Amino acid sequence: ARSTDSFNYATYHTFDEINAFIDNLVNENPNLVSKIQIGSSYEGRPLNVLKFSTGPNRPAFWIDTGIHSREWVTQASGIWFAKKIATDYGKDASLTNTLNNIDILLEIVTNPDGYVYTHKSDRMWRKTRSPNSGSLCVGTDPNRNWDAGFGGPGSSSNPCTETYRGRAAHSEPEVKAIVDFVKSHGNIKGFVSIHSYSQMLLFPYGYTTARTPDHNELNTVSRNAVNALASLYGTSYTYGSIIATIYQASGGTIDWTYNQGIKYSYSFELRDTGRYGFALPANQIIPTAEETWLALTKLIEHTRDNLY
Amino acid sequence: MENYSGQQVLRIFPTDEDQVNLVRALEDLEHLQIDFWTSPTKVLLPIDIRVSFRNLQSVKVYLESNNIQYSIMIHDVQSLLDEEQNEMRRNRATEN
């Protein structure tokens, strides 16, 4: 597509097409959108983050999609979010207020090697593509690679499993890049990592049954967010801490971000209606993105209005 | 591209903790090469597993012999992926 207006948001796209979209969006909105390369993947692909900002030195709200490469509806939703933010700024009062106070950071393809692999070799690939010494099995689960209960229950030491944690915390460059960026930024106040397909909104912890000191607040905000989401198409979400809602998972993204002091840390599991799983038909991309945006807006607004 | 012809995704409905554990035990049987799309967690939460054509019968027999209810969520994974590819091609052609 030559512009983000002619881009087809209702189909799945390759990594190169997504990068072209990112460049177009930046070129079309030079005063609002910029691209930051926070690092490179194992195979050398750029780890691009879109920064929506109207002023210097602002607190920020982070969103990432596609850390599990086969969850295609998440990258597709990320593209839609990017266009929505650029389009609504100056038109939608709440989003305009948000961007006049905080930045939004959006990493659309968080695991580019895996994503390219899903297009070229194995549509069901979930992990990164880094080799594991002593094993023929490739890749690490980037959502078990964070320094938060790393190596504990709910992750695997077997490189041939889908939940292989990697040789050490932050061993994956895709994870390390975010870790370094979050630390160097130092002012990220909200963080959402987006997955599919269990229809859940989750918050820390996953590696321990201990409740965070902010459990009640996160629970209330999550309830408001899933109610907003359901208001559009009636999609039913559950919500709660990771360990209480799904299972014990060690080394997860948002446990690390919470422990870094990012109080408003959440993880989404976007929709499926129990029919398609990771092969969600493309005609559900826009409805999924639309309803998720309503929930995201609630999370962003709460962060904006409760900076700490 | 990896071919998923004949592979199915089964949605399993454990009715008690023993059944959850029986499904969890499948994770350790590496030769069955089961891909857990959603993991065994707690009673009444469905579990989705992708099973290769070669192991489909063994897995179904295991579930049925333990009285574990399941349904076929996706009958042929490859046909869904083919449709996905066709749609992407169609969209590209339209854009061009």
d(CA B36, CA B9): 9
Q: Which residues of A touch B33 (CB under 8 A)?
A: none
How far is C-alpha A201 from the chain's CA centre?
12
**pLDDT given at position A131:** 98
Place of tokens 């939460």: B45
Q: Do B95 and A275 touch (CB under 8 A)?
A: no
- Please answer yes or no on whether A246 and B41 come within 8 Å at the CB atom: yes
- The answer to whether B27 and B18 have CB atoms below 8 angstroms apart is no
Q: Is the peptide bond before A258 cis (omega within 30 degrees of 0)?
A: no
In total, the C-beta contacts within 8 angstroms joining chain A to chain B are: 62
> Quick one: closest CA in B to A274, which residue?
B73
Q: CA–CA distance from A287 to each of A31, A78, A274, A283 (Å)?
A: 29, 13, 16, 8
Q: Which residues of A touch B73 (CB under 8 A)?
A: 274-275, 277
A7 touches A24 (CB < 8 A): yes
Cβ distance A231 to A101 under 8 Å? no
Q: Give contacts of B51 with chain A, Cβ < 8 Å.
A: none
Contact call for A282 and B87, based on CB within 8 A = yes
Distance CA A267, CA A191 (A): 8
What pLDDT is attached to residue B96? 62
Q: Are strands A188-196 and A238-241 parallel, antiparallel or unpaired?
A: unpaired
Give the angle subtended at the CA of A38 by the CAs of A34 and A44, to the nearest 5°: 115
* Nearest-by-Cβ selection for A277 from B37, B87, B91: B37
| CA nearest to B33 within chain A | A161
Contact A280, A272 (CB under 8 A): yes
CA max distance for chain A: 55
Count of Cβ atoms closer than 10 Å to residue A228 Cβ? 19
Separation of alpha carbons B43 and A291, rounded Å = 28
Of A10, A11, A277, the CB nearest to B9: A277
CB-closest option in A123, A160, A274 to B2? A123
Backbone angles phi, psi at A138, to 5 degrees: -105, 145
CA–CA distance from A86 to each of A5, A10, A78, A130, B1 (Å)? Answer: 11, 18, 12, 34, 36
**A269 catalytically annotated:** yes
Nearest to A25 by CA among A85, A111, A72, A77: A85
CB within 8 Å: A277 and B74 = yes
**Cα end-to-end span (Å), chain A:** 41
Contact B84 A279 (CB under 8 A): yes
Number of alpha helices (DSSP H) and beta strands (DSSP E) in chain A:
9, 8
Q: Which residues make beta-bridge pairs with A239? A: A201
A71, A174, A269, A301: the active-site residue: A269
SS3 A283: helix
Mean pLDDT over residues B7-33, rounded?
93
Report the C-alpha gap between A114 and A130 in whole angstroms.
10
- Which element (helix H / strand E) includes A114? helix A112-120
Residue A123 one-letter amino acid: R
Minimum CA–CA partner of A12 in chain B: B88
Please provide the average confidence, as pLDDT, over all residues in chain B.
Answer: 93
> What size, in residues, is chain B?
96
Nearest Cα residue to A257 out of A192, A174, A207, A162: A192
How much is the pLDDT for B93?
83
CA distance B51 to A166: 25
A198 near B CB under 8 A = yes
Contacts of A215 by beta carbon, 8 Å cutoff, 6+ apart? A203, A241
Nearest CB neighbour to B39, from listed A247, A279, A282: A247
A278 touches chain B (CB under 8 A): yes
Q: Calculate the dihedral angle through the C-alpha atoms of A243, A246, A252, A254, rounding to the nearest 10 degrees.
A: -80
Contacts of residue B88 in chain A, CB cutoff 8 Å?
11-13, 282
Q: Is residue A273 within 8 angstroms of chain B, CB to CB?
A: no
The residue with tokens 């700490």 is: A308
Alpha-carbon distance of A48 to A107, in angstroms, equals 6
Residue in B11, B80, B94 nearest the CB of A279: B80
Tell me the Ramachandran region of residue A151: left when phi exceeds 0, alpha when psi lies from -120 to 50, beta otherwise.
left
Are the beta carbons of A160 and B30 separated by less than 8 Å?
yes
Print pLDDT tens along chain A (308 aa).
789 999 999 999 999 999 999 999 999 999 999 999 999 999 999 999 999 999 999 999 999 999 999 999 999 999 999 999 999 999 999 999 999 999 999 999 999 999 999 999 999 999 999 999 999 999 999 999 999 999 999 999 999 999 999 999 999 999 999 999 999 999 999 999 999 999 999 999 999 999 999 999 999 999 999 999 999 999 999 999 999 998 889 999 999 999 999 999 999 999 987 899 999 999 999 999 999 999 999 999 999 999 99
Side chain identity, residue A103? D
The reply to whether A3 touches chain B by the CB within 8 Å rule is no
Separation of alpha carbons A124 and B50, rounded Å? 10
Put simply, the answer to whether A198 touches B38 (Cβ < 8 Å) is: yes
Given this model, what pLDDT does residue B43 score?
A: 86
- For tokens 């004949």, the residue is B6
* Among the listed residues A73, A219, A61, the one whose alpha carbon sits nearest the alpha carbon of residue A227: A219
